[in-house]
Amino acid sequence: MARTYWITRESAAKLLGISTRTIDRYIKSWKLSYKKVANKVLLAKEEIASLQEDYGALHQEISTEVVKQSEITTHNVSSVSPSLEKAVEEKIDKFMLIFNEKDKILEEKNKVIFMLQQRVWELEAKLKTMVALPDYTKEKQEALLEKQKLEEKIAELKWTVKREKSKSVWFLSVALIFILVLIYFVIFKS
């Protein structure tokens, strides 16, 4: 049988009285099939109708009748018809099935909540030790600028050292020449 895909996630959620996140979980767990058309997720009309029937049974209101004490005493309990008794038992069985189904759903949701809480705790622990990307890039840029400034300072210091060495050599040369001239005058002129 060919399925017709034309119900959006939002429409299906409204029809079923559930959230779109629940629809997404049904899709992920293969409870619902889907087609993607132009970045829209479309669900099968037949599957939604089937789920709607199931949810209708789960969400069916249970009616109770108020019986006066005087009516109970006037009617003989043994005069209850077997068909009425059977109908009551069927309603009770149906109620118990619905109750058990809801209980299972709650257990599953509690498991998911517990798992998600653990995951959140793990992520919070990781987050405490992590550095945000913009902060990291900012720190990296600042470190690169600092490195560039230090390299410029080193080049400047090297140039200063070289200049000082050449000054020292020139001063020593002048001093040596002066000493030689002085020795020449002392030795040859005296």
What residue segments make up the domains of the chain, in order of their start?
Answer: 1-60
Residue 77 contacts residue 67 (beta carbons within 8 Å):
no
pLDDT for 165 beyond 70: yes
Cβ distance 98 to 54 under 8 Å? no
Rounded CA gap, 93 and 95, in Å? 5
Of 73, 2, 67, which is closest to residue 35 (Cα–Cα)? 2
pTM metric for this prediction = 0.32
pLDDT of amino acid 58: 60
For 51-105, write each residue's pLDDT tens digit.
888 776 665 555 555 555 555 454 554 556 788 888 888 888 888 888 888 888 8
Q: Enumerate the β-bridge partners of residue 42.
A: 8, 35
Cα(116)–Cα(25) distance, integer angstroms: 14
Give pLDDT, residue 115: 87
3-class secondary-structure state, position 60? coil
Three-state DSSP state, 7: strand
Q: Mean pLDDT across the chain, nearest whole number?
A: 81
Centre a 10 Å sphere on the Cβ of residue 42 and count the other Cβ atoms it contains. 19
CATH of 1-60, one of 3.30.43.10, 3.30.465.10, 1.10.1660.10, 1.10.1370.30: 1.10.1660.10
